[in-house]
Amino acid sequence: MGIITPERIAETVVIKTSNEQIKVENIYDIKYSIVPAVASECFGNYELFYSKDNSKIGIDVLREGLAKAINKNIVAEDLGYILRDEGCITGAIEAFKISEKNGSSSNYIYLELSKLYKQLGQIEESLKYEEKFRITEIE
């Protein structure tokens, strides 16, 4: 069962206008990308931090958040998925291994690591994580 907490539901955006007024808009009515300014340690969809227009923004937010996070696993997973999507294989592996070390949210992190190591041609590591995935899937 997956649970998303309110801080990961981001349909409302608060914007400061050029004349210092505060305006509230629905995220679906905005024509540009919105990325939270602070990483969340709560489980949710990593795409909340993924601006396809400029992925560096979300990556920077998550890296900064990871350095400060108490529960690093979720922040590391969000970062890993974005880095994976951006083709930064080594960075994605590093992020997913941080999640693994801190108690990943699911065994699918092992599957991600297996696929990433396979892309690098590191077959032994790929098989090791594929086996971890299979073992934890049974449990």
Instruction: Please report the pLDDT score of residue 44 as a whole number.
Output: 79
Q: How many domains does the chain have?
A: 1
Query: Is residue 79 situated within a structural domain?
Result: yes
Query: Is residue 32 situated within a structural domain?
Result: yes
Query: Is residue 80 situated within a structural domain?
Result: yes
Query: Is residue 52 situated within a structural domain?
Result: yes
Residue 67 belongs to domain spanning:
12-105
What average pLDDT does the segment 53-63 reach?
95
Give the model's confidence band at 8: pLDDT under 50 very low, under 70 low, under 90 confident, else very high. Answer: low
Of the listed ranges 38-47, 56-65, 67-76, 124-133, the least confidently predicted one is 38-47
Per the CB < 8 A criterion, the answer to whether 108 and 77 are in contact is: no
Query: Is residue 30 situated within a structural domain?
Result: yes
What average pLDDT does the segment 49-65 reach?
93
Q: Which two tokens stand for residue 124?
A: 């032994």
Query: Is residue 86 situated within a structural domain?
Result: yes
What average pLDDT does the segment 3-13 reach?
61
Per the CB < 8 A criterion, the answer to whether 126 and 93 are in contact is: no
Q: Which two tokens stand for residue 113?
A: 């690591």
Query: Is residue 46 situated within a structural domain?
Result: yes
Instruction: Please report the pLDDT score of residue 23 as a whole number.
Output: 83
Q: Which two tokens stand for residue 1?
A: 């069962």
Query: Is residue 22 situated within a structural domain?
Result: yes
Residue 22: pLDDT over 90: no
Residue 1: pLDDT over 50: no
Cα pseudo-dihedral 110, 59, 67, 129, rounded to 10: 10
At 53, the amino acid letter reads: D
Per the CB < 8 A criterion, the answer to whether 4 and 45 are in contact is: yes
